[in-house]
Amino acid sequence: MAEESAAYLRLVDGGVYVDTTAGLGGHTGLIARRLKSGTVISLDRDAETLDKARENTLDCTERIVFRHSRFSQLGETLASLGLGKVDGILSDLGVSRWQLTSPERGFSFQQAGPLDMRMDRVQELTAGDLVNRASETDLANWIFQYGDERRYARRIARATVKARPVRDSLHLAEVIASVVPRTGKLHPATRVFQALRMVVNDEEGELDALLEQAPEWIKPGGRWVVIAFQSLDDRKVKRRFQSLAREKRATILTKHVVRPGVEETRANPPSRSAVLRALEMTGAAE
């Protein structure tokens, strides 16, 4: 929803905007190209995707500042740049398609790859550590909570522990498929891989930090646009927006979530699950 994001940000020449998830540079590039002057602070916890974002925005690089930074470092990173409050923040909470389709990153089970799933490969903890070392109880709880796998979480955890050592992403998918019946189009391993990815990258904690810090860095009249792909994330965003509105600190611009149009979902099927929310900061005291 690049066009929708830009519209809700209400870009102003000379403004300073933050893209908290650079990815491959799609949103960052769009904002930078729309500005005749101004700056886009483009952040990502994945140094490899930042390199690709730089390559994809060479035509407007003079208006972009890239930084290797995670959500929980938002305030620290912006302060290090000597910035005051900014004109807008865009937070796309989706996982990069490049990450998902790169076997060596281990996010997908379409091909055999290492059980990695780290968005920042500087950190030590990997999905392999969880799969092969965590207790059966912890695995079951993670799959239940973060994978929303209500029925088979314990069965999957038990089979995973029994199959140790689990060699790679394809091996794990096979273990899961051997104990969970296939229903519909969704592969039985999909939710488990989501859960493991969320735990490895502490996505819940990082999102909580973003929701706490971002409003403090947006000037009165500035806007915050958030795109979520998981219901768990969207519920948190919705609650935070509602809290800011109750405190008279912000006005919610999206009475209902904004969803991608037919053309976008046809061209980019994974976008079907995306929902966008936007607000404008008022500057009123809490």
Q: Could you tell me the residue ranges of all domains in the chain?
A: 2-96+204-281, 121-200
Per-residue pLDDT, averaged over 119-140, amounts to: 97
Structure tokens that stand for 31 in this block: 């904002």
pTM: 0.94
Gyration radius of the chain over CA positions: 20
Locate 132 and state its tokens: 């092969």
What CATH topology corresponds to 2-96+204-281?
Answer: Rossmann fold (3.40.50)
In the predicted model, is pLDDT for residue 242 greater than 70? yes
Instruction: Give the pLDDT band (50/70/90) at residue 100.
Output: confident
> Which pLDDT score, from 0 to 100, does residue 185 have?
83
Q: How confident is the model at residue 285 (pLDDT cuts 50, 70, 90)?
A: low
Tell me what pLDDT residue 96 has: 81
Beta strands of the chain (E only): which ranges?
Answer: 16-19, 39-44, 64-68, 86-92, 218-228, 250-252, 275-281
Q: Return the C-alpha torsion angle 47, 53, 59, 63, nearest 10.
A: -60
CA distances from 88 to 5, 147, 214, 261 (A): 11, 32, 10, 24
Mean pLDDT of all residues in 52-67: 97
Residue 92: pLDDT over 60: yes
Kindly report, residue by residue over 10-32, the tens digit of the pLDDT: 999 999 999 999 999 999 999 99
Q: Would you state the pLDDT for residue 286?
A: 45
Kindly report the average pLDDT of the chain as a whole number. 95
CATH pick for 121-200 out of 1.20.120.1760, 1.10.1780.10, 1.10.10.10, 1.10.150.170: 1.10.150.170
Cis peptide before 165 (omega within 30 of 0): yes
Q: Rounded mean pLDDT of 256-270? A: 87
Cα 199 to Cα 255: distance, rounded to the nearest angstrom: 31
| Phi and psi torsions of 84, nearest 5° | -90, -155
Q: pLDDT digits over 138-187, tens only?
A: 999 999 999 999 999 999 999 999 999 999 999 999 999 999 998 888 89
**Mean of the pLDDT values across residues 249-276?**
90
DSSP three-state, residue 189: coil
pLDDT tens for 187-196 read 999 999 999 9
How sure is the predictor about 269, in pLDDT bands with cuts at 50, 70 and 90? confident
What is the percent of the chain where pLDDT is above 70? Answer: 99
